[in-house]
Structure 1
Amino acid sequence: MPCPKPLTPPTSAIGWTGPPLFRRAASRRGPAGGACRWVDLDQRRARPSGPAGHPPSRPRHRNGSSMTSRRLEVATWNIAGGVLGASHQRGVVPDLDHHVSVLRTHGPDVVCLQEAHEYGDRTGQTEELAERAGYAHWAAYALSASHLVDGAQLALGVLSRFPLSGLSLRVLPAPRLEATGPGEEEWILHDKGYLVGTVGLPGGDVHLANGHFFPLHRFARSLADPQFAPLLRRFTDDLLGIDAAGPALVGVDLNHSPAAEVLAAALLPGHFTSVLDAHAPTTPRGAQRDYLLCGHQVRVVSTITVPTQSDHFYCQVSVRV
């Protein structure tokens, strides 16, 4: 399957890091000061061999994808640093027991995580979920300091039953915005971002994007404001790039509703479809902030949106690719 067109460093104020080092527990520093970490927990996965030790051939589409479709379950979930209950709580010890239970119940093949904690030299939450919920492959990219727990960083994470490759992160530097929280505490907007990479299924690659955008509604601003048009164009271009390259799936906490207001070009016919019910909330307060987008080469089978003990619902789509 052809690889997506390489993402190029932007000329605007959008940060960039390239692919992580594909070595066990390797790391590098991104422009936002966050660690980009990669690990493959199971390097013993065997592939069936054909003649001369090569994988058996399959009929292929012209774009390189296998003509034999496969069912895939993909989820997106903002886990709020493992803190249960209302958002923006401090002084609460994170606990992933609930999150492990949800993942075991619904059994997704690939999970896009937002606001997973990384702890520097200690085991981060993406790694812990991978180990406890049985995922052989994971990656975590720290973006900014956590507003929930001192000494932690908020990260984008991916859990996968299949190999991950080519993961690249684009950092969205936060504008200088401040607000006052409900407890009279000072709120400062932090960096967000999105990553793009591939999931290696036996029949070919599926392209994946996982993103988290600014909670501008808490600062009396909107992602539809002209100030944010350049970063939305860059995000849209990257989405259209992976959609053109092959089967593509996106999990994103957009912090905005409706998605079509800010991602109109990506959601045109022949490109992506937002597969969750347009009126279905993804937060306890009734707002839709989280989205699953499926590219034009993906066939949607079903979707679920499940309230959780966290401040975001768990969202999952079943597709054939």
Structure 2
Amino acid sequence: MFAVPITVASAGPPPAPPSSTQAEGEDALPPAIVDAPSGFWLSVELIGPRGAQIDAARALAQPPVVDALPRGGAPPPGELVGRVDTLDQALTWVNANSFAAVSDNGDATAVPGGRLYADHGLFLTALVVTAEVIGGAQPYAWPPAGALPLPPDVDWQPASLAVARAPVFAAPSPSLPPASERYQVVDLDDSLWLLESQDRCEDPGLSSVPPTCLRWARILVRRGERFFGGWVPAAHVIPDSAWVGGPGERRFALLPGHRGHDEVGFVLLEQRGERREGPVGLVQAHAGDTWPAASVEVLGEELVVLIAGQPALTRHISADPLAP
């Protein structure tokens, strides 16, 4: 006898297709494993409870960031957020998450990682961008601040530090806090961008007396693959656009310092080749609650600093590197 194959059929309804959404209570699917030859890994370094750090990293994985894991190799530093395809996307992510106000008050000051503190109780120490390679991550060959191509919606002004190193504070104040209250430290070798400048004023409480103000700069710093931000006195930050060329390799910049009820202070900086000269403080009588117009001009071998249209300093300069 021959065995006859038997087909079993069911008259019931067809099986339901797999649900496109997870059932309530099921664990989330693990992130995809990506092994693309190009792209950038994004991660974050935080201070605070481990569980809150994981939640914060997930919150930072907004499109176009892809929730993904490197396939072996060296992992990115800190808590992994995900990956993006292009440098523009990575810089846009840094720009969006470096600063935020802690409250929804329209006048609130932007502080480093403000939303991470408000939503998760964490302190941001760095946003990290590393290059994606087969098998993991590696440092990216970053160009200098002035040569880094920026996305169209990112407004970072290339700048440099006026001092060898400076404490970076989380928020500005009417007077300079002690260095022990610093949030970070920026060094002369770091890449630096100026984001904005603001006054912080101490109101004397008299309508007839203008407040005393200190000018602050909000900066973004890159050290290796780590980006961090904060506030420093504006006299410590020189936008590349502020330099005025002089004879030889000399160049000059004028920066705002402080503004009082009857005076205003600026700082004159000079660089000769790679050497920075000591700053020169300039104080001019000034009445009012706004900054006067100020500029530095080089006329042949004459340096002229104008504050409120009046000469505050006139000096003979020379192309001779040994000349004063």
Q: TM-score category by the smaller chain?
A: under 0.3
Give the structure with the higher percent strand: 2
Q: Which has the greater radius of gyration?
A: 2
Which of 1 and 2 has higher RCO (CA within 8 Å, sep 6+)?
1
How high is the TM-score relative to the length of structure 2?
0.21
